[in-house]
Amino acid sequence: MRQFSTAVQNVINSDNMRFAFLIKLEFNTTYYLTSFNRDLDYNGNTYLANGGLYEFDSPKFSSVVDRESYKIVISEVLDTLSAEFRANVVGKPISVFVALLDANGNPLLSPNDVLSVYKGYVDSPSITNDFEQKLAVIEGTSPMSDLDMVRSFMTSKNGMEQVSPDDTSFKEIFENKEITVKWGKV
């Protein structure tokens, strides 16, 4: 069971639970964004309130191993993320944290108080432009996204030499060699 600090537990037990998101995008440059109404300092970094954070998915709980995606939308007025996308950000880390707000509306920013709600990697970045607004859409997937991957493997006489020149396991594939394989318990 997950343990919470006393301050976090007090907010959870209250009738008025409010929170702010902290989003870290580790691209060629690292971006720190927050949904709070002012900049926040957390873990030695300043998360910007005016960084253009437009929309983000709520955390989702999943009890099975799956390819759960997470979407972040950022206003792209300065073309900063467009340049990042062209430089290839696929596979770069994304981290999303939640800072709960105390009774006075101040975020609890001690490392023991901030909750990690998503860690994954950029899967499909895109830019949308409808002539009224330009948005950078970042879709991230979990490390389990590799479960969907399909890779071909050539089983030819020289196929294994591409992987390991010392491995001779495929040398006998094209020769007539009969072997008996016992299945199950022997």
First-to-last C-alpha distance (Å) of the chain: 43
- The Cα 51–Cα 45 span in angstroms is 14
Token pair for residue 42? 């957390």
CB-count exposure of residue 67 (10 Å: 0-12, 13-18, 19+): middle
Give the pLDDT confidence of 92-141 residue by residue, as tens digits: 999 999 999 998 999 999 999 999 888 889 988 999 988 888 999 999 88
- Give this prediction's pTM: 0.71
- Count each helix (H run) and each strand (E run) in the chain, helices first: 3, 9
Q: How confident is the model at residue 157 (pLDDT cuts 50, 70, 90)?
A: low
Residue 20 half-sphere exposure toward CB, CA atoms < 13 A: 24
35-44 average pLDDT score: 94
Hunting for tokens 């997950």 — which residue is that? 2
- The Cα 138–Cα 125 span in angstroms is 5
pLDDT of residue 40: 96
136-165 average pLDDT score: 68
**Farthest CA pair distance, the chain:** 80
Domain boundaries, the chain: 6-148
pLDDT of residue 77: 75
pLDDT of residue 117: 87
pLDDT of residue 57: 76
32-49 average pLDDT score: 94
- The Cα 50–Cα 89 span in angstroms is 22
Token pair for residue 157? 């006489």
pLDDT of residue 164: 77
pLDDT at 149 over 60: no
